[in-house]
Chains A and B, each alone.
Chain A
């Protein structure tokens, strides 16, 4: 099992957001998580990545046999977890190149490898930039500063390409992209997909799933996965919306 999440509960400021999530992902799989706004999709991905703002109340999360919940965010990254943020953060004054160099070399250090030389690093940047057709000018700019919405999302997938994670969680990577950018980003993700790694795609829209074909589709609502199916579930949601699921769950709660 690549990712094994059992009974995960998490809160922020005393408010419980995740109310017992179970999810198993095997190598080579693509999972989609859909669900109405505010249901906890971003919270789930940030809790897995180790955001200090959230408190894990209960449950387990294992990545490739490693207990994620015991690791710092940086070590979760080294162990192969990658989160493409719904809202990538702007960091004025830190250049993309320095940011990436620090990330790559920290990972190499974690595995007892020497840092990359300047030439090796530049070569790697160039190679990975081409995966998402990222403008070379962006590499000399501050991290995400002044990037358009589309450039920010491309930049996330570029970082994913650089770090070669085992499990990538793409949180609404499609939002704010026009159709051409969406295709480029989706093709980038597909290029990075191998039988050894896995992807969790969080999205509202079927649109992205035309490009990135999921093996499983889950619906997250009120902090729980309330339904799991194949790709046809996404099509059904596209057609019928979420209300029928919401009504069903809300009725059960009463």
Chain B
């Protein structure tokens, strides 16, 4: 932890009060993930403008989706041009000055992790998205996170999403690494709240480089009769770990938390979900699917907790995995903790290989083996794509997945042409 303490010493002036907390934290933070240990990452505490213009050169791979977009380059927010009425979509740093009351004091105590504490102390910017009461923006909002720097960089990014009562919004979060030369460490903290009767569809797409380490934590609070739907699509990554914690706080709250992963090479993707039912008549549904190729080492662990007070709860979880190579590994650990009798819960996990009879059937019709395999892998993921909330993203994802598998068939673990397809659609 020496490097962070030194960081603190050198940046006492910009860190201010946070600095003292940081110091205390660092002195006691023995349990922090070892990926934070290397002393090679720079942290841009002084908000220096890095000599890159990612916004200019960046091309979104999801261009067919017509959205209200904003960029976060490393951790510097670049706003969208025009916003629908009732929608705030701004730099978190600016929001902290203008509306300090909108920023949660710190991550809630019961879910505090060392990484999120570090984020809390070191975050320099990110985004605040706030959908006003009963506001229903027509287009999805899109936040594109880009990593692009002339040096190895650590980014502490924070995103706060507030959906007020009766509001209904769709949000697409994209994570891209712009280059494959530098090491990036992303410590991301996303805090979401959906108030009574509100709805949020939050879809995430990650295409990061093999040298990117991501530690993402998302905390979601869902209010009475509110609904949170999320699909995370991990197309390429390095060492990527996402925690998704959802708390169904009041009666009638619902969450649908889904994900798909395509892993190859030596990638190590992980999802850790924790869905807590705190109130009666709450519903959660999880579907996670992984295709593990190469020597990838994949993890899914999903925890469902049903509190004693959460009567008439329904909680379902499935995790199906396809091992596309003999060297790929899948660790899956579904856990149920149920403290209430009147509930319907189920979980199921399977890990298998491609169906040989289907493969032979396809080949007997003339479809070459490699293509048949690719079609079966795409088919395997198709129900996760079907769950994606943003209509136009579904078609786009099918295309991205197809391209990812085509690249795999040609021996590539990334989609190098990711960013080269089309310009980000600005309205």
Measured CB to CB, the residues of A under 8 A from B are 49-53, 72-74, 76-78, 83, 85, 88-94, 98-99, 102-104, 106-107, 110, 142, 159, 163
Q: Contact between A91 and B376 (Cβ–Cβ < 8 Å)?
A: yes
Cα(A102)–Cα(B376), bound, Å: 12
Q: Contact between A93 and B360 (Cβ–Cβ < 8 Å)?
A: no
B window 334-375: CB within 8 A of A: 355-358, 360-369, 371-372, 375
Q: What are 24 pairs between A and B in contact, CB < 8 Å?
A: A50-B360, A72-B363, A72-B369, A74-B364, A74-B366, A77-B366, A88-B361, A89-B358, A89-B360, A90-B358, A91-B362, A91-B376, A91-B379, A92-B379, A98-B375, A99-B365, A102-B367, A102-B371, A103-B362, A103-B365, A106-B366, A106-B371, A159-B365, A163-B366
Cα(A91)–Cα(B378), bound, Å: 12
Q: Contact between B380 and A89 (Cβ–Cβ < 8 Å)?
A: no
Tally of contacts, chain A with chain B, CB under 8 A: 81
Q: What residues of B have a CB within 8 angstroms of the CB of A163 in the complex? A: 365-366
Q: Contact between B360 and A91 (Cβ–Cβ < 8 Å)?
A: no
Known A99-B362, A106-B366, A107-B366; judge A94-B379 contact (CB<8 A). yes
Q: What residues of A have a CB within 8 angstroms of the CB of B365 in the complex? A: 77, 99, 103, 159, 163
* Nearest CB in chain A: distance from B215 CB, A: 32
Q: What residues of B have a CB within 8 angstroms of the CB of A73 in the complex? A: 360, 363-364
Cα(A93)–Cα(B375), bound, Å: 9
Q: Contact between A93 and B378 (Cβ–Cβ < 8 Å)?
A: yes
Most chain A beta-carbon neighbours within 10 Å: one of B366, B372, B383: B366
B382 at the binding interface (Cβ < 8 Å): yes
Q: What residues of A have a CB within 8 angstroms of the CB of B361 in the complex? A: 85, 88-89, 91
* Nearest CB in chain A: distance from B316 CB, A: 19
Q: How many residues of B contact A (CB 8 A)?
A: 24
Q: Contact between A89 and B366 (Cβ–Cβ < 8 Å)?
A: no
Q: Contact between A93 and B383 (Cβ–Cβ < 8 Å)?
A: yes
Known A73-B360, A89-B361, A91-B358; judge A103-B366 contact (CB<8 A). yes
Q: What residues of B have a CB within 8 angstroms of the CB of A53 in the complex? A: 356, 360
Q: What residues of B have a CB within 8 angstroms of the CB of A104 in the complex? A: 366
Question: Could you mark each residue 122-146 of chain B with 1 if its beta carbon is under 8 Å from any beta carbon of chain A, else 0?
Answer: 0000000000000000000000000
Q: What residues of B have a CB within 8 angstroms of the CB of A51 in the complex? A: 360
Known A72-B369, A89-B358; judge A83-B378 contact (CB<8 A). no
- Residue in A49, A72, A102 whose CB lies within 8 Å of B375: A102
Most chain B beta-carbon neighbours within 10 Å: one of A49, A88, A99: A99
Closest to B377 in A: A93
Q: What residues of A have a CB within 8 angstroms of the CB of B358 in the complex? A: 89-91
Cα(A163)–Cα(B366), bound, Å: 9
Most chain A beta-carbon neighbours within 10 Å: one of B362, B371, B372: B362
Q: What residues of B have a CB within 8 angstroms of the CB of A83 in the complex? A: 364
Q: What residues of B have a CB within 8 angstroms of the CB of A102 in the complex? A: 362, 367, 371-372, 375
Q: Contact between A89 and B357 (Cβ–Cβ < 8 Å)?
A: yes
Q: Contact between A50 and B363 (Cβ–Cβ < 8 Å)?
A: yes
In the complex, given contacts A74-B368, A88-B361, A102-B367, what are 19 additional A-B residue pairs having Cβ atoms less than 8 angstroms apart? A49-B360, A52-B356, A52-B360, A53-B360, A74-B369, A77-B364, A77-B366, A89-B358, A93-B376, A93-B380, A94-B362, A94-B378, A94-B379, A99-B362, A102-B372, A102-B375, A106-B366, A110-B366, A159-B365
Closest to B383 in A: A93
Closest to B368 in A: A74
Q: What residues of A have a CB within 8 angstroms of the CB of B383 in the complex? A: 93
Q: What residues of B have a CB within 8 angstroms of the CB of A78 in the complex? A: 366
Q: Contact between B378 and A106 (Cβ–Cβ < 8 Å)?
A: no
Cα(A93)–Cα(B367), bound, Å: 16
* Nearest CB in chain B: distance from A218 CB, A: 22
Cα(A163)–Cα(B364), bound, Å: 11
Q: What residues of B have a CB within 8 angstroms of the CB of A76 in the complex? A: 364
6 nearest A-B residue pairs (beta carbon) = A93-B379, A77-B366, A73-B363, A89-B361, A93-B382, A103-B365
Cα(A98)–Cα(B355), bound, Å: 18
* Nearest CB in chain A: distance from B346 CB, A: 20
Closest to A92 in B: B379
Q: Contact between B368 and A106 (Cβ–Cβ < 8 Å)?
A: yes
* Nearest CB in chain A: distance from B396 CB, A: 17
Closest to B382 in A: A93
Q: What residues of B have a CB within 8 angstroms of the CB of A93 in the complex? A: 376, 378-383
Closest to A100 in B: B365
Closest to B360 in A: A51
Q: What residues of B have a CB within 8 angstroms of the CB of A91 in the complex? A: 355, 358, 361-362, 376, 379
Q: What residues of A have a CB within 8 angstroms of the CB of B362 in the complex? A: 91, 94, 99, 102-103
* Nearest CB in chain B: distance from A68 CB, A: 12
Cα(A102)–Cα(B367), bound, Å: 6
Cα(A190)–Cα(B355), bound, Å: 33
Known A89-B358, A91-B358, A94-B376; judge A49-B382 contact (CB<8 A). no
Cα(A93)–Cα(B398), bound, Å: 12
Q: Contact between A94 and B375 (Cβ–Cβ < 8 Å)?
A: yes
